[in-house]
Structure 1
Amino acid sequence: MLFSCSTSNRYENEVIFRFNIPEGVSSLDPAFASNLGNISATNQLFNGLVQMDENLNIKPCIAKSWERLDSNKTYRFYLRDDVYFHENEVFGESKKRKVKAQDFVYSFNRLIQSDLMAPGKWVFNNVLRLAEEKLAITAINDTILEIKLKEAFSPFLGILSMQYCAVVPQEAIDYYGDKFRSNPVGTGPFKFQYWKENTKLVLLKNPHYFEKDERGVALPRLDALSISFIKDQEVAFLLFLKGDLDYLSGLKGSYKDELLNSRGELREKYQNQIKLITSPYLNTEYLGFLLDSNASVSRNNPLLNKDLRLAINYGFDRVKMLKYLRNGIGEAASSGFVPKGLPSFNAEKLVGYSYQPELAKKYLIDAGYPEGKNLETIVISTTAEYLDICEYMQHQLGELGIKIQIDVNPPATNNELVANAQLRFFRKSWVADYPDAENYLSLFKTSNFSPSGPNYTHYSNEKYDALYAQTMALTNDSLRNIYYLKLDSMIVADAPIVPLFYDQVVRFIPNYVSEIGVNPMNLLELKHAVKELQN
């Protein structure tokens, strides 16, 4: 139930959309929107300057237009003047206030304050600083905002589409302090009503929301959102089948074979009651090799030999792996590290790894281990969720003479060991923070070595770093995409990773729900959603 029995009659004829966030929500403050659960919730409550459409194109949001000045080092945004924060007592007697450019100056500077310890403070690393905790962001007047960058950085608009960059009112932060996490005041299509942590979150329609659909109809169309936090995916699946949940996301082992056949299609018995929605997902699943010869675990490490890494990459069948282990969901990562769904992806121009056992045997010989002779057992460190994939590789690589041992760690332990360069060969994934290939290719910059950055392999190549710097200065999208392909080609040639597959967004909705789009960021957008009331 959405509310207690005594109040439920009030909502009897209202359209309530019910969904589950299994990972839970730890904060409703967009400054802490660092995981899928927090992002799914805050995306309903807040807005930023810009947003993405379903094809990852940047489009206006609170900023109705913008221009680039000063050789693309300055962005000037022109804001709408009809956007209001959610009604709240912090605004005094009127209970509401219009959003002004000054609110973005406050919100963006708040994000970088050291005492907030926000995980998203890095998003403004490319913005010029006036002081250690003051950004070069100016409100020229109530509707014009100017941001100065250290140097031209083409992915900047994509970064601004992240929830970290949502606008918040200073009055609410001053009033609620740390409790803003559970008393959010935003501008989004839904406003906060109730949150019992780990149990239920309720958001109500914002009757003053500024966006309309293409027909001029006010958004949102739903009256309320009721969000549960059921960790057991099997329980959530059964509730979905009963009609107690209106949305199911992801492909879990507990129900994937029940819903989908081996071709990734919805089974016939469900086709009259459920719709399957899929899209490329900006998530590359991969195995990483630690290439840091100075790391304590790298002494006598055979994986420092590039030919051995190439043998592993060509030594197993990714297509068959997806068919049998993931019901055909996803695409074999045979075109580099940058996944399908980004404009720079080009399977014709970038030929990556495929299953070529004879070529794998040749690389084994070149590495000095013909048929795996004299090669020590290779250890893959993974989590339980990906054990089946590692066992599949263990079997196929074993046929070439490459002996594999699998170590299974809890996710938190595995992440810590990887970040601190304690594992030679490890499973990781990279989900895009923003829709630009730079977000993937930055994983191989020397300056991004973990634990302070996402270069978990400690790959270091001066030519790569130089080309990366050149690429970031380009403002022509087509030319930049060509350079992205060159960078990705260097990764394929040097093999610091084993790309496994490009993931796929998988969503299931009942036939009485419509207008739930899908996008490669797997961002849940509910302002257009329609749900027909059931008798």
Structure 2
Amino acid sequence: MAGAGRWKIGVQALCWGLVGCQTNAPPPPGILRLGLFAPYTSLDPLYARDQISVWLVQQLFAGLVGYDSLLRPIPLLASRWEISPDGRVYRFYLRKGVTFHGRPYRFLRASDVVYSWHRLASPKWASPGAYLFRGLIQGWKDFQEGKTPTIQGLQALNDSVLQVTLEAPYGPFLHLLTLPYAMVVLPEAAESLGRAFGQQPVGCGPFQLEWQEAGRLLVFRRHWPAPAPFVQKLVFRWFPNRLWAWEALQRGEIDAFEGQDRALEYRFRSDSTWRRWARQVETPQLGTEYLGMDVRTGSPLGDRQVRRALRAAIGRLPLVQELWGAHATPARSFVPPPLLAYLPPSDTTLSEADRKRLQGLELTLYAQPAFRELCEYLELRLRSYGVTLRIEYLLGPSLREYLTKGHIHFWKASWLADFPDGENFLLLFESAQRVPHGPNTTRFAHAQVDSLLKRARQETSDSVRRVIYSQIEAILAEEAPVIPLYHAHGIWQVSRRLLSFPRSPLPVWLPLHTVRLTDEPDAKSLAS
């Protein structure tokens, strides 16, 4: 009977996640059901490079370090750490009693971290994150190039102590340890499964994989012990659009989904009764939507004065107010303001000489189709300055390929923070990071920017680094390799069944194990 009961509960849980499975029964206790739209790449942390994959991997795996509600690094798999006076040696003491998924339980050891990071660095696995510690951890580069059999700067001193030695001090180092690439896998499973590990992932994160149906459904069950009302099971269900997800939320088939579009806004305006059973969780994000410009000589935007005039003209437009209202913040800098000590002066003055530079300017703006409304707005408004703007739409992979090969000179792009430090944004302007060697698609190069970035990386004080980042922003304001447009807000549509939901300005950080539920559908929700 007990076995039959468990089977019955499992079927009911799947019914609440599957498309077209209708029921008026209350949701099973402790189950959080989320709607998603984009596909995921892999459940292997080595290949988690898109936002959906990162969100999913965070539930299954964990790293040495996590974040508190203010995005300050806190111990996760490590219980504590020590840093040498010169900032080069980190010693991590692992938390006792941490186990990997599955039975019989296997306890976490420092050698598992060493294995996971060697796996990340190894050319055999071809991880897009293999660059993460290159030039940072001592011996990482030599191991990648086959010069040494192991990474010199990684040592398991015993089962519970890991020592990491850096080439030089690196202020944001602890932030890197929160990324999926640095999360810990079970070595035995990774070796035996090979590339299939992404379909049968085994980590020591807060949840473990229970069920999957490609492109439709994922079910994770709790691994880290926690009593009700904390989530005991996660069900992820895919939808073709947000309107379908909203209707599922209204019927009580899911509990939350991310994002908002015009169709939803129309629903909100036409019927306010939704506030009785749902709410919005909205948070300004550490990310920047911008226009990139090819600064090389010969480019139509190779002249700094033309770039500055174009930036000033676009900066004068009420773009955010007219397109996004309160759901975005106008950008005065490329680095989001919380990561700077101060903002550079905002100058949208257009001199007569600037207007002459824009008169007759012909440009082609390349963008993904999702930004059609923005592009058409810019095309219409820039006509008044004598600018002829032609729009070409490309899918993401094609746009990235064109940027890498240097075929385009003006484009719409987004940059979301992987971790809450300005260096994460400003490396886009480092000369050593010019494509194809890095993400510097504008081909911008400035000796002072390179020097300031090098200094910031070796600075251990967050406040001092923010001052340096503000100095770099002042240079970018003068040189104008990009036109920052706005900082988007993250929006989740959430059932009032949820007593809490993560409010994180970091787009990639989604600690769902902290969500608390009530089994009363109309219960009053609490602010997260």
The reply to whether TM is greater than 0.5 is yes
Partner of 1:270: 274
Where in structure 2 are the equivalents of 1:75-86 lying within 5 Å? Answer: 75-86=90-101
With over 3 angstroms needed to count, the CA separation of the structure-2 counterparts of 1:472 and 1:283, relative to structure 1, is same
**1:77-133: CA deviations, max 9, x gaps?**
111112111124xxxxxx111101111011111111101011111111111116424
Partner of 2:313: 315
- Matched residue count: 495
Where in structure 2 are the equivalents of 1:249-288 lying within 5 Å? Answer: 249-259=258-268, 268-288=272-292
With over 3 angstroms needed to count, the CA separation of the structure-2 counterparts of 1:10 and 1:382, relative to structure 1, is closer
331, 352, 363: which one pairs with 1:362?
352
Q: Which moved more, 1:445-454 or 1:175-184?
A: 175-184
With over 3 angstroms needed to count, the CA separation of the structure-2 counterparts of 1:521 and 1:319, relative to structure 1, is farther
Where in structure 2 are the equivalents of 1:456-495 lying within 5 Å? Answer: 456-495=441-480
Amino acid at match of 2:66: Q
Aligned partners of 1:340 and 1:231: how far apart in 2?
A: 35
**1:128-181: CA deviations, max 9, x gaps?**
116424321101111111111111111111011111111111111123222211
Aligned partners of 2:505 and 2:449: how far apart in 1?
A: 27
SS of 1:484's partner is helix
Where in structure 2 are the equivalents of 1:374-453 lying within 5 Å? Answer: 375-453=360-438
Where in structure 2 are the equivalents of 1:189-338 lying within 5 Å? Answer: 189-206=206-223, 209=224, 218=227, 221-259=230-268, 268-293=272-297, 299=298, 301-316=299-314, 320-334=318-332, 336-338=333-335
Offset of residue 230 of structure 1:
2.0
Aligned partners of 1:39 and 1:486: how far apart in 2?
A: 32
Offset of residue 456 of structure 1:
0.6
Amino acid at match of 2:154: I
Aligned partners of 2:452 and 2:58: how far apart in 1?
A: 35
- Say yes or no: does 1:181 pair with 2:178: no
Identical amino acids, percent of aligned pairs: 25
SS of 1:315's partner is helix
Partner of 1:132: 143
Aligned partners of 2:178 and 2:464: how far apart in 1?
A: 23
516, 519, 528: which one pairs with 1:533?
519
Partner of 1:524: 510
Partner of 2:164: 147
With over 3 angstroms needed to count, the CA separation of the structure-2 counterparts of 1:257 and 1:71, relative to structure 1, is farther
Partner of 2:526: none
Contact 2:100/2:106 (CA < 8 Å) preserved in 1?
yes
332, 339, 344: which one pairs with 1:350?
344
Contact 2:344/2:477 (CA < 8 Å) preserved in 1?
no
Offset of residue 5 of structure 1:
7.6
Contact 1:18/1:245 (CA < 8 Å) preserved in 2?
yes
SS of 1:531's partner is coil
Contact 1:111/1:120 (CA < 8 Å) preserved in 2?
yes
**1:413-436: CA deviations, max 9, x gaps?**
122111221111111111112221
Where in structure 2 are the equivalents of 1:28-177 lying within 5 Å? Answer: 28-69=43-84, 71-88=86-103, 95-125=104-134, 126-129=136-139, 131-133=142-144, 134-135=150-151, 136-177=153-194
Q: Which moved more, 1:437-446 or 1:314-323?
A: 314-323
With over 3 angstroms needed to count, the CA separation of the structure-2 counterparts of 1:252 and 1:363, relative to structure 1, is farther
Partner of 1:264: none
Offset of residue 249 of structure 1:
0.8
Amino acid at match of 1:132: F
Aligned partners of 2:503 and 2:63: how far apart in 1?
A: 20
Partner of 1:91: none
Aligned partners of 1:483 and 1:6: how far apart in 2?
A: 56
Partner of 1:21: 36
With over 3 angstroms needed to count, the CA separation of the structure-2 counterparts of 1:499 and 1:233, relative to structure 1, is same
Question: What are the ranges of 5 or more consecutive residues in structure 1 without an aligned counterpart?
Answer: 89-94, 211-216, 262-266, 294-298
Aligned partners of 2:111 and 2:445: how far apart in 1?
A: 42
Aligned partners of 1:82 and 1:220: how far apart in 2?
A: 23
**1:211-242: CA deviations, max 9, x gaps?**
xxxxxx65882221111122333322221222
Aligned partners of 2:110 and 2:304: how far apart in 1?
A: 52
Offset of residue 396 of structure 1:
2.2
Question: What are the ranges of 5 or more consecutive residues in structure 2 without an aligned counterpart?
Answer: 1-5, 15-26, 145-149, 522-528
Contact 1:155/1:436 (CA < 8 Å) preserved in 2?
yes
SS of 1:235's partner is helix
TM-score (normalised: structure 2): 0.88
Aligned partners of 2:346 and 2:45: how far apart in 1?
A: 37
Aligned partners of 1:363 and 1:183: how far apart in 2?
A: 62
Contact 2:36/2:257 (CA < 8 Å) preserved in 1?
no
Offset of residue 193 of structure 1:
0.6
Aligned partners of 2:291 and 2:310: how far apart in 1?
A: 11
Contact 1:284/1:429 (CA < 8 Å) preserved in 2?
yes
SS of 1:152's partner is coil
Contact 2:361/2:386 (CA < 8 Å) preserved in 1?
no
SS of 1:251's partner is coil
513, 523, 529: which one pairs with 2:498?
513
Contact 1:101/1:142 (CA < 8 Å) preserved in 2?
yes
Amino acid at match of 1:142: D
Aligned partners of 1:319 and 1:102: how far apart in 2?
A: 56
Aligned partners of 1:483 and 1:400: how far apart in 2?
A: 35
Aligned partners of 1:450 and 1:145: how far apart in 2?
A: 35
SS of 2:513's partner is coil
SS of 2:125's partner is coil
SS of 2:503's partner is coil
Offset of residue 251 of structure 1:
2.3
Aligned partners of 1:286 and 1:303: how far apart in 2?
A: 15
Amino acid at match of 2:322: Y
Partner of 1:8: 11
Aligned partners of 2:448 and 2:476: how far apart in 1?
A: 11
Offset of residue 10 of structure 1:
8.0
With over 3 angstroms needed to count, the CA separation of the structure-2 counterparts of 1:10 and 1:268, relative to structure 1, is closer
With over 3 angstroms needed to count, the CA separation of the structure-2 counterparts of 1:451 and 1:257, relative to structure 1, is farther
SS of 2:321's partner is helix
Contact 2:229/2:518 (CA < 8 Å) preserved in 1?
no
